[in-house]
Amino acid sequence: MADTALQFQTLYSVGLNKADLNVRVMAQSFLQACGDAAILYYLTLGCFNGPGLANGDASSSSPYASSPGSVWEGSTGEGFGIWVFGTAVYTNMVTAMLVKVALMHNSWSSYAFGGMAFSLALYWGFVMLYGSFEPVGDGFVATWLASYEFYYAP
């Protein structure tokens, strides 16, 4: 195995030079992932809450005090719309991942287009089906795309 790596050094140069998956590269990737997650979360929170609610404090004098987009109910910490907010954050993560994959492609083939279309169709199909079932008693009833509400979301 080592003979093969030494025989084809141009192919295995990344591993031989320890240029990938070392502590420095992993730490940089970790910091970038934390930054990306913070941007996605706070950008979604700012869009979801509306102006003046980025800190979650909805005073009664604010025109957005009864905004349906308020994720947190004032300073009580009660969740209000947290399921919809979580779905919005996850949608942004899926979209950012697909954009990053699209930018990393060096060449586009029918398989690449098909894979991207399949990923989008699978996710949006899930979102549509997720909104089509609502809890009734101990089970669920299908509303078949007749409702825009999410499971246990106000």
DSSP H or E stretch at residue 117: helix 110-130
Could you give the CA distance from residue 130 to residue 152 in angstroms, rounded to a whole number? 11
pLDDT (average), residues 77-105 = 82
Q: What is the pLDDT of residues 26-73, one digit of tens each?
A: 999 999 999 999 998 888 887 776 654 444 454 545 554 445 456 666
**Which residues are 139's β-sheet partners?**
136
Total-model pTM: 0.61
Identify the three-state secondary structure at position 53: coil
- Confidence (pLDDT) at 133: 66
The residue whose two tokens read 């979604």 is 44
Q: Domain count of the chain?
A: 1
- Residue 102 falls inside a structural domain: yes
Q: Specify whether the CB–CB gap between 80 and 154 falls below 8 A.
A: yes
